[in-house]
Amino acid sequence: MNEIYDITIIGAGPTGLFAGYYAGFRGLKTKLIDSQPDLGGQITALYPDKYIYDVAGFPKILGRELVRNLVEQCMQYNPTVVLGEQVQRLEKVEERLFRLTTDRTTHLSRAVLITAGIGAFTPKTFKRPEIDQYQGRGLFFAVHNREEFKGKRLLIIGGGDSALDWALNLVEVAREITLIHRRDGFRAHEDSVRRLFSSPITVKLFYELKAIRGEDRAEEAVIFHNKTGQEEVLQVDAILAFLGLQSNLGPIKEWGLHLEEESILVNTKMETNIPGVYAAGDIVTYPGKVKLIVTGFGEAATAVNNLTRYLNPEASVFPGHSSSIVEKQHKESQPARADGS
């Protein structure tokens, strides 16, 4: 018989993992489902070895370490974790009961929290076969292990957070780094731009990649100035192109949720238009929304606390301070002493 959970969290990235912890903290029977084979979402899939600088309490922390901490925190309450399954249908079968159908089975839950990030994602390529053919042979669209580039001559392409973060992250391991960007404006954090121009990285503005040369793998990169047409040939060991991500909400689009530009509309309680279905993290939008990991953490707590009230109208939205509650839980779990105290 299919077990019924209080809350099923769709998406086990940072927001989903923190929501899993908070749901356990509120005493909810919890399940997490993710289509990826590992916990951690986009961080695990695309930049486990990249430093993250804007998580409260950490001057900097590697992506994999942040995920490890979040997993440890979440697993304190022993949620059920289902990986490698994509939720394809979400149906309300009766009052306060949903059926989630994946590509493998079905799950039942009294409430649902969607924390699916940007949905299904893949790094963008150049869409030029003569260049994309070098993927895996010196051309990379994501970094999974920075030690792979130790002592290498790198060309980094892009002007967003991923390009600048990786350029700065790899300075201490690479032999030399050149970063090119097609214009003089950056989409990265101001602090990253400041650090880039005070680093030993060679920065070339208004430059783009024209061609890659090499027999078995990339050996040279032909770049050109997009205002003058002037070309330059760089000797390279690897080319890292951060052109953005292609995201797709996939089946979520068919669930009857109110959407706005590939995002789920929520209110201040993180409620969607379907009672009992909440959403948090990068997948949501509302006036003033900022897509940051730390924002997702706050939204996860807001969603779970309001969801708890939805499941039990007698429950308080405010759970109390964690230090007091955890101490009480710890005392209650201790065996009674022989003297009865």
- What domains can you pick out in the chain, each with its CATH number? 4-121+246-333 (3.50.50.60), 125-241 (3.50.50.60)
d(CA 281, CA 252): 15
Question: pLDDT per residue over 55-68, tens digit each?
Answer: 999 999 999 999 99
Q: How many CB atoms lie within 10 A of CB 257?
A: 20
Q: What are the structure tokens assigned to 76, written together? A: 């304190």
Report yes or no: 249 and 259 within 8 Å, Cβ to Cβ.
Answer: yes
Beta bridge partners of 295: none
Relative orientation angle of helices 63-74 and 14-25, to the nearest 10 degrees:
20
Distance in angstroms (rounded) separating the CA atoms of residues 211 and 286: 42
**What is the distance between the alpha carbons of residues 22 and 74, in angstroms, rounded to a whole number?**
8
The overall pTM is greater than 0.85: no
pLDDT attached to residue 338: 53
| DSSP 8-state symbol, 236 | -
Question: Is 100 in a helix, a strand, or coil?
Answer: strand
Question: Beta partners for 203?
Answer: 179
Q: Is the dihedral of CA 326, 329, 335, 339 positive or negative?
A: positive
pLDDT tens track for 168-226: 999 999 999 999 999 999 998 899 999 999 999 999 999 999 999 999 999 999 999 99
- Tokens 């969290």 correspond to what residue? 9
pLDDT given for residue 341 in this prediction: 47
Residue 326: pLDDT band by 50, 70, 90 thresholds? low
Amino acid identity of residue 236, one-letter, is: V
Q: What is the pLDDT of residues 240-252, one digit of tens each?
A: 999 987 777 889 9
Q: Using CA atoms, how far apart are residues 26 and 305, in angstroms rounded to an integer? A: 8
**Kind and range of the H or E run holding 333:** helix 322-333
Q: In whole angstroms, what is the distance from residue 229 CA to residue 224 CA?
A: 6
Contacts 24+ apart (CB under 8 A), 287-294: 289/263, 292/54, 293/14, 293/15, 293/52, 293/54, 293/55, 293/66, 294/54, 294/55, 294/56
